Structure 1
């Protein structure tokens, strides 16, 4: 079992970390993160190539249960 002083120190460290994270995001809008992301890479050659690779893979019929389950 952990000593009460150790738990107090760990709790204090967690509270400081949470406070630091809160101050980093304070005033920043997190609501529009998806809108900011959409289209941000759509003109990148690597992105377009990845899309084409995905289309070709789906059309190939090689999707198996193993691939779909992520195994």
Structure 2
């Protein structure tokens, strides 16, 4: 396989991994909110989610 193809495959794998990780964070936040009656902010803080990701997760939960 050529280097260009290998690079494209690796980039796709990383993108998929990142999307899966983001989805898992959203599920975790939602579970804390429902099961422990936490606010979205408290749930994200409990999971140590970086501040720069908060808006994106809030938007995903709103949809």
TM range (shorter): 0.3 to 0.5
Larger Rg: 1
Structure 1 length normalisation: TM-score? 0.40
Q: Which has the higher contact order (CA 8 A, sep 6+)?
A: 2
Larger helix percent: 2
TM-score, normalisation: structure 2: 0.44
